[in-house]
Amino acid sequence: MNPSGLEALIEALRCLPGIGPKSAQRLAYHLMQHDRPGAARLGDAIQHALQAIRHCQRCNTFTELDICERCASPRRDASLLCVVETPVDMNMMEQTQAYQGLYYVLMGRISPLDGVGPRALAMDKLLARATDGMVREVILATNYTNEGEATAHYVMAMLQAHGINVTRIARGVPVGGELEFVDSGTLAQALRERRSVGAN
């Protein structure tokens, strides 16, 4: 029914999470009818991002550099390594202004129901990072959801097997809640009250 270029756009828009066939059609019509400049900007931004955005070799977050500015900064405490699920969570930690160490971003969480196991999260990269000789303490700041807890447990077991001191942010974060939606005060509290986990 639609010209092929429009059908291709509708189909391509469905790669966005939460966008079904009807929504994709509406988005495509909107872009072609009402916002061609916006569509052009979007097309350019996607192609630029695909080319420029990669993962920091040290902390695994999104960056346009080999090593991101935070990891390269001499003002951060290289003896502390905070493990978070996503860049959003890292930004939330930064906003507390209660942490001066470095990060490792898992870019996900262990979730057997979604078929995401330890291998998909490149845990070996985290292990190499945590055993570089500088890190004295690894702070687990994954979410207090079931998946986040499972992830924390896996990371803890992996790192303690290598003799690394592992802590977990305090359960000030509401059980079942996600870091992204917690206020900075609560998160700062949880960070201060981090506790040792496992057999130590």
Nearer to its own copies, 36 or 171 (CB): 36
Alpha helices in the chain (DSSP H): 4-13, 21-34, 36-52, 69-72, 87-95, 123-130, 146-160, 184-192
3-state secondary structure of 104: strand
Nearer to its own copies, 7 or 77 (CB): 7
Nearer to its own copies, 53 or 157 (CB): 53
Interface contacts to its own copies, rule CB under 8 A: 1-6, 8-9, 11-13, 15-17, 25-33, 35-36, 38-50, 52-53, 62-65, 68, 86-88, 91, 94, 107-108
Minimum gap (Å) between residue 85 Cβ and its own copies: 11
Residue 84, both tokens: 């978070």
Minimum gap (Å) between residue 105 Cβ and its own copies: 10
**Residue in the block written with tokens 């079942």:** 176
Contact yes or no for 101/129 (Cβ under 8 A): no
Nearer to its own copies, 40 or 72 (CB): 40
Say how far apart CA 174 and CA 168 lie, in whole Å.
Answer: 14
> Residue 83, Cα to own-chain centre: how many angstroms?
9
Nearer to its own copies, 54 or 136 (CB): 54
Minimum gap (Å) between residue 53 Cβ and its own copies: 5
Minimum gap (Å) between residue 195 Cβ and its own copies: 28
Minimum gap (Å) between residue 68 Cβ and its own copies: 8
H or E segment at 102? Answer: strand 101-105
Residue 78: phi and psi, rounded to 5, are -75, 0
Minimum gap (Å) between residue 49 Cβ and its own copies: 4
H or E segment at 166? Answer: strand 165-168
Strand partners, 196: 167
Nearer to its own copies, 85 or 167 (CB): 85
